Amino acid sequence: MNKLLKDYITFLRIEKNLSPNTIEAYQRDLKRYLRFLKTDEGITDLNKIKQKHIRKYIRILNNVHLSVTSINRAFSSIRSFHNYLSGEEIIKSNPVLLLDTPKAPRKLPTVLSPQEIDTILDVVDVSKELGVRDLAVLEILYSGGLRVSELCDLKLTDILLDAEMLRVTGKGNKQRLVPLGPRAIRCLDKYFKHVRPSFARKNKNQGRIFLSRNGNPLTRMMVWLIIKKWVSFTDIKKDISPHTLRHSFATHLLEGGADLRAVQEMLGHADISTTQIYTHLDKEYLKEVHRTFHPRW
Protein backbone atom coordinates (compact mmCIF):
# COMPACT_ATOMS: atom_id res chain seq x y z
CA MET A 1 0.00 0.00 0.00
CA ASN A 2 2.92 2.33 0.66
CA LYS A 3 4.08 1.99 -2.95
CA LEU A 4 0.59 2.88 -4.20
CA LEU A 5 0.56 5.91 -1.93
CA LYS A 6 3.94 6.94 -3.33
CA ASP A 7 2.62 6.57 -6.89
CA TYR A 8 -0.46 8.63 -5.99
CA ILE A 9 1.64 11.44 -4.49
CA THR A 10 3.72 11.49 -7.69
CA PHE A 11 0.44 11.71 -9.67
CA LEU A 12 -0.66 14.72 -7.59
CA ARG A 13 2.68 16.44 -8.07
CA ILE A 14 3.15 15.85 -11.79
CA GLU A 15 -0.29 15.45 -13.35
CA LYS A 16 -2.43 17.49 -10.95
CA ASN A 17 0.32 20.08 -10.35
CA LEU A 18 -0.84 20.66 -6.77
CA SER A 19 1.08 22.92 -4.43
CA PRO A 20 3.65 21.41 -2.02
CA ASN A 21 1.47 22.36 0.97
CA THR A 22 -1.56 20.57 -0.49
CA ILE A 23 0.47 17.48 -1.35
CA GLU A 24 1.92 17.41 2.15
CA ALA A 25 -1.59 17.53 3.64
CA TYR A 26 -2.80 14.69 1.38
CA GLN A 27 0.21 12.57 2.27
CA ARG A 28 -0.22 13.13 6.01
CA ASP A 29 -3.94 12.30 5.92
CA LEU A 30 -3.48 9.16 3.82
CA LYS A 31 -0.59 7.79 5.88
CA ARG A 32 -2.78 7.99 8.95
CA TYR A 33 -5.69 6.37 7.09
CA LEU A 34 -3.57 3.48 5.75
CA ARG A 35 -2.05 2.95 9.18
CA PHE A 36 -5.57 2.61 10.63
CA LEU A 37 -6.51 0.06 7.95
CA LYS A 38 -3.45 -2.07 8.58
CA THR A 39 -3.20 -1.78 12.37
CA ASP A 40 -6.86 -1.60 13.45
CA GLU A 41 -8.57 -3.54 10.67
CA GLY A 42 -5.81 -5.87 9.49
CA ILE A 43 -6.35 -4.80 5.88
CA THR A 44 -3.40 -4.96 3.48
CA ASP A 45 -5.41 -5.54 0.30
CA LEU A 46 -7.08 -2.34 -0.96
CA ASN A 47 -9.84 -4.38 -2.61
CA LYS A 48 -11.02 -5.41 0.85
CA ILE A 49 -11.77 -1.84 1.97
CA LYS A 50 -15.51 -1.30 2.43
CA GLN A 51 -17.69 1.71 3.24
CA LYS A 52 -17.93 0.52 6.85
CA HIS A 53 -14.16 0.84 7.28
CA ILE A 54 -14.15 4.44 6.02
CA ARG A 55 -17.14 5.33 8.20
CA LYS A 56 -15.42 3.80 11.22
CA TYR A 57 -12.27 5.82 10.51
CA ILE A 58 -14.25 9.07 10.26
CA ARG A 59 -15.95 8.25 13.57
CA ILE A 60 -12.54 7.75 15.18
CA LEU A 61 -11.39 11.15 13.92
CA ASN A 62 -14.54 12.66 15.40
CA ASN A 63 -14.03 10.85 18.73
CA VAL A 64 -10.54 12.31 19.16
CA HIS A 65 -12.14 15.76 18.76
CA LEU A 66 -10.57 16.63 15.44
CA SER A 67 -12.15 19.76 13.99
CA VAL A 68 -14.87 19.37 11.37
CA THR A 69 -12.61 21.11 8.86
CA SER A 70 -9.80 18.60 9.49
CA ILE A 71 -12.22 15.66 9.22
CA ASN A 72 -13.58 16.99 5.92
CA ARG A 73 -10.07 17.42 4.58
CA ALA A 74 -9.19 13.84 5.62
CA PHE A 75 -12.33 12.52 3.93
CA SER A 76 -11.53 14.51 0.79
CA SER A 77 -8.03 12.98 0.73
CA ILE A 78 -9.47 9.47 1.11
CA ARG A 79 -12.06 10.02 -1.60
CA SER A 80 -9.50 11.41 -4.03
CA PHE A 81 -7.16 8.47 -3.34
CA HIS A 82 -9.87 5.87 -3.96
CA ASN A 83 -11.00 7.67 -7.11
CA TYR A 84 -7.41 7.48 -8.36
CA LEU A 85 -7.17 3.76 -7.53
CA SER A 86 -10.48 3.12 -9.30
CA GLY A 87 -9.48 5.16 -12.35
CA GLU A 88 -6.23 3.23 -12.63
CA GLU A 89 -8.19 -0.04 -12.22
CA ILE A 90 -6.11 -0.96 -9.18
CA ILE A 91 -9.32 -1.68 -7.23
CA LYS A 92 -12.42 -3.42 -8.58
CA SER A 93 -15.00 -1.27 -6.78
CA ASN A 94 -14.84 2.20 -5.27
CA PRO A 95 -16.01 2.26 -1.62
CA VAL A 96 -16.40 6.06 -1.48
CA LEU A 97 -18.90 6.41 -4.34
CA LEU A 98 -22.01 6.42 -2.13
CA LEU A 99 -20.49 8.15 0.88
CA ASP A 100 -21.40 11.77 1.61
CA THR A 101 -18.93 14.36 2.83
CA PRO A 102 -19.40 15.09 6.57
CA LYS A 103 -21.42 18.27 6.99
CA ALA A 104 -19.53 21.19 8.47
CA PRO A 105 -21.40 23.99 10.25
CA ARG A 106 -20.76 27.37 8.68
CA LYS A 107 -19.17 29.66 11.22
CA LEU A 108 -18.65 33.36 10.72
CA PRO A 109 -14.93 34.12 10.84
CA THR A 110 -13.35 36.34 13.48
CA VAL A 111 -13.02 39.82 12.01
CA LEU A 112 -11.18 42.88 13.28
CA SER A 113 -12.64 46.34 12.92
CA PRO A 114 -10.64 48.94 10.94
CA GLN A 115 -9.89 50.61 14.28
CA GLU A 116 -8.52 47.35 15.71
CA ILE A 117 -6.33 46.89 12.62
CA ASP A 118 -4.95 50.40 13.12
CA THR A 119 -4.34 49.69 16.81
CA ILE A 120 -2.22 46.62 16.01
CA LEU A 121 -0.25 48.34 13.27
CA ASP A 122 0.39 51.41 15.43
CA VAL A 123 2.05 49.43 18.26
CA VAL A 124 4.73 47.93 16.00
CA ASP A 125 8.10 49.36 16.99
CA VAL A 126 9.66 50.47 13.70
CA SER A 127 12.76 51.85 15.46
CA LYS A 128 14.10 48.29 15.32
CA GLU A 129 14.89 46.19 12.23
CA LEU A 130 12.50 43.40 13.15
CA GLY A 131 9.73 45.94 13.72
CA VAL A 132 10.21 47.33 10.21
CA ARG A 133 9.95 43.81 8.80
CA ASP A 134 6.96 42.91 10.99
CA LEU A 135 5.01 45.99 9.94
CA ALA A 136 5.62 45.13 6.27
CA VAL A 137 4.38 41.58 6.95
CA LEU A 138 1.20 42.81 8.65
CA GLU A 139 0.53 45.44 5.99
CA ILE A 140 0.87 42.91 3.16
CA LEU A 141 -1.38 40.37 4.91
CA TYR A 142 -4.10 42.98 5.44
CA SER A 143 -3.59 45.05 2.29
CA GLY A 144 -3.63 42.01 -0.01
CA GLY A 145 -5.73 39.49 1.93
CA LEU A 146 -3.03 36.84 1.52
CA ARG A 147 -2.98 33.40 3.07
CA VAL A 148 0.02 33.02 5.37
CA SER A 149 1.56 30.35 3.11
CA GLU A 150 1.23 32.74 0.15
CA LEU A 151 3.03 35.46 2.08
CA CYS A 152 5.88 33.11 3.06
CA ASP A 153 6.30 31.99 -0.57
CA LEU A 154 6.50 35.52 -2.02
CA LYS A 155 9.63 36.12 -4.10
CA LEU A 156 11.28 39.38 -5.12
CA THR A 157 10.11 38.81 -8.70
CA ASP A 158 6.49 38.78 -7.48
CA ILE A 159 6.50 42.52 -6.73
CA LEU A 160 5.25 44.55 -9.68
CA LEU A 161 5.84 48.03 -8.29
CA ASP A 162 5.16 49.90 -11.55
CA ALA A 163 1.69 48.38 -11.60
CA GLU A 164 1.35 48.55 -7.78
CA MET A 165 0.50 44.85 -7.80
CA LEU A 166 1.66 41.65 -6.19
CA ARG A 167 1.81 38.32 -8.04
CA VAL A 168 0.50 35.68 -5.62
CA THR A 169 0.71 31.91 -6.08
CA GLY A 170 -2.26 30.33 -4.32
CA LYS A 171 -3.77 26.89 -3.93
CA GLY A 172 -3.10 24.52 -6.81
CA ASN A 173 -0.27 26.81 -7.99
CA LYS A 174 -2.85 29.22 -9.41
CA GLN A 175 -1.51 32.73 -9.81
CA ARG A 176 -3.43 35.95 -9.29
CA LEU A 177 -2.64 39.65 -9.14
CA VAL A 178 -3.44 41.55 -5.95
CA PRO A 179 -3.31 45.37 -5.72
CA LEU A 180 -0.90 46.92 -3.23
CA GLY A 181 -2.02 49.97 -1.27
CA PRO A 182 0.28 52.99 -0.78
CA ARG A 183 0.91 52.19 2.91
CA ALA A 184 1.95 48.64 2.09
CA ILE A 185 4.25 49.92 -0.66
CA ARG A 186 5.89 52.40 1.73
CA CYS A 187 6.43 49.68 4.36
CA LEU A 188 7.93 47.32 1.76
CA ASP A 189 10.20 50.07 0.47
CA LYS A 190 11.54 50.79 3.98
CA TYR A 191 12.04 47.07 4.63
CA PHE A 192 13.93 46.59 1.33
CA LYS A 193 16.16 49.61 1.85
CA HIS A 194 17.03 49.35 5.53
CA VAL A 195 16.46 45.77 6.73
CA ARG A 196 16.34 42.99 4.15
CA PRO A 197 19.90 43.46 2.76
CA SER A 198 21.49 42.76 6.16
CA PHE A 199 19.24 39.71 6.69
CA ALA A 200 19.83 38.35 3.17
CA ARG A 201 23.64 38.37 3.55
CA LYS A 202 23.46 35.75 6.30
CA ASN A 203 21.95 32.88 4.29
CA LYS A 204 20.67 31.64 0.96
CA ASN A 205 16.98 32.56 0.85
CA GLN A 206 15.98 31.65 -2.72
CA GLY A 207 14.88 35.22 -3.39
CA ARG A 208 12.08 35.17 -0.82
CA ILE A 209 10.81 38.58 0.26
CA PHE A 210 10.35 38.07 3.98
CA LEU A 211 13.33 36.76 5.94
CA SER A 212 14.20 35.94 9.52
CA ARG A 213 17.06 37.64 11.34
CA ASN A 214 19.27 34.72 10.21
CA GLY A 215 18.36 35.14 6.55
CA ASN A 216 16.02 32.16 6.31
CA PRO A 217 12.59 32.52 4.68
CA LEU A 218 9.85 33.21 7.22
CA THR A 219 7.71 30.18 8.11
CA ARG A 220 3.98 30.12 8.83
CA MET A 221 4.66 29.62 12.53
CA MET A 222 6.99 32.61 12.62
CA VAL A 223 4.32 34.82 11.04
CA TRP A 224 1.79 33.55 13.59
CA LEU A 225 4.20 34.45 16.40
CA ILE A 226 4.80 37.92 14.91
CA ILE A 227 1.06 38.63 15.05
CA LYS A 228 0.69 37.23 18.57
CA LYS A 229 3.61 39.38 19.73
CA TRP A 230 2.20 42.70 18.56
CA VAL A 231 -1.41 41.92 19.50
CA SER A 232 -0.14 41.28 23.05
CA PHE A 233 0.78 44.98 23.25
CA THR A 234 -2.87 45.96 22.67
CA ASP A 235 -6.08 45.52 24.66
CA ILE A 236 -7.67 43.38 21.92
CA LYS A 237 -8.94 40.10 23.40
CA LYS A 238 -9.96 38.33 20.19
CA ASP A 239 -8.20 35.15 19.11
CA ILE A 240 -6.18 36.51 16.19
CA SER A 241 -4.22 34.56 13.59
CA PRO A 242 -2.78 35.46 10.16
CA HIS A 243 -6.08 34.34 8.63
CA THR A 244 -7.92 36.93 10.75
CA LEU A 245 -6.26 39.65 8.68
CA ARG A 246 -7.43 37.92 5.49
CA HIS A 247 -10.97 37.70 6.89
CA SER A 248 -10.84 41.38 7.84
CA PHE A 249 -9.54 42.38 4.39
CA ALA A 250 -12.49 40.68 2.66
CA THR A 251 -15.10 41.91 5.13
CA HIS A 252 -13.95 45.54 5.01
CA LEU A 253 -13.95 45.55 1.20
CA LEU A 254 -17.48 44.16 0.99
CA GLU A 255 -18.80 46.44 3.72
CA GLY A 256 -17.31 49.35 1.78
CA GLY A 257 -19.32 48.35 -1.30
CA ALA A 258 -16.82 46.24 -3.24
CA ASP A 259 -18.16 43.81 -5.85
CA LEU A 260 -18.27 40.20 -4.63
CA ARG A 261 -16.64 38.91 -7.83
CA ALA A 262 -13.71 41.32 -7.44
CA VAL A 263 -13.17 40.21 -3.84
CA GLN A 264 -13.37 36.57 -4.94
CA GLU A 265 -10.63 37.24 -7.50
CA MET A 266 -8.38 38.98 -4.96
CA LEU A 267 -8.83 36.19 -2.40
CA GLY A 268 -8.15 33.50 -5.00
CA HIS A 269 -11.36 31.59 -4.25
CA ALA A 270 -12.30 29.04 -6.90
CA ASP A 271 -15.97 29.10 -5.80
CA ILE A 272 -17.84 32.33 -5.09
CA SER A 273 -19.85 30.59 -2.36
CA THR A 274 -16.65 30.57 -0.29
CA THR A 275 -16.44 34.34 -0.62
CA GLN A 276 -20.09 34.85 0.33
CA ILE A 277 -19.41 34.05 3.97
CA TYR A 278 -17.89 37.54 4.18
CA THR A 279 -21.14 39.21 3.26
CA HIS A 280 -22.30 39.08 6.87
CA LEU A 281 -23.26 42.51 8.15
CA ASP A 282 -23.35 44.15 11.52
CA LYS A 283 -26.68 43.49 13.29
CA GLU A 284 -27.15 47.14 14.12
CA TYR A 285 -26.76 48.05 10.45
CA LEU A 286 -29.44 45.50 9.53
CA LYS A 287 -31.73 46.99 12.17
CA GLU A 288 -31.10 50.47 10.81
CA VAL A 289 -31.97 49.37 7.26
CA HIS A 290 -35.13 47.71 8.58
CA ARG A 291 -36.15 50.83 10.51
CA THR A 292 -35.46 53.07 7.54
CA PHE A 293 -37.19 51.15 4.79
CA HIS A 294 -39.81 48.85 6.27
CA PRO A 295 -43.32 50.34 5.90
CA ARG A 296 -44.37 49.26 9.42
CA TRP A 297 -41.87 51.54 11.09
CA distance 61 to 55: 10
CB atoms within 10 A of CB 219: 14
Could you give the dihedral angle defined by the CA atoms of residues 232, 234, 239 and 245, in that order, rounded to the nearest 10 degrees? -110
One-letter amino acid identity for 60? I
Question: Please, which residues have CB within 8 angstroms of residue 80's CB and are 6 or more apart in sequence?
Answer: 26
Q: In the chain, pLDDT over 70 holds for what percent of residues?
A: 90
Note the pLDDT tens digit of each residue in 95-154: 998 888 776 655 667 889 999 999 999 999 999 999 999 999 999 999 999 999 999 999
Which residues are marked as active site?
147, 171, 243, 246, 269, 278
Note the pLDDT tens digit of each residue in 151-175: 999 999 999 988 899 999 988 788 9
Given CA atoms 69, 72, 77, 80 in this order, what sign does their dihedral have? negative
DSSP 262-273: HHHHHHT-SSHH
β pairing state of 175-179 and 159-160:
unpaired
Statement: residue 75 has pLDDT above 50: yes
Domains of the chain: 2-87 (1.10.150.130), 114-284 (1.10.443.10)
Angle at the Cα of 91 from the Cα atoms of 85 and 94, rounded to 5 degrees: 80
Instruction: Average the pLDDT over 270-295 and give the result.
Output: 61
Q: In this predicted structure, which of 85-99, 179-193, 279-293 has the lowest mean pLDDT?
A: 279-293
Phi, psi angle pair for 175, to nearest 5°: -100, 145
Buried/exposed code over 103-113 (b: 16+ C-beta within 10 A; e: otherwise): eeeeeeeebbe
pTM of the complete model? 0.65
Three-state DSSP class for 137? helix
CA distance 252 to 254: 6
Note the pLDDT tens digit of each residue in 205-224: 779 999 999 999 999 999 99
Note the pLDDT tens digit of each residue in 232-249: 999 999 889 999 999 899
Higher-confidence position of 225 and 257: 225
Q: How much is the pLDDT for 60?
A: 92
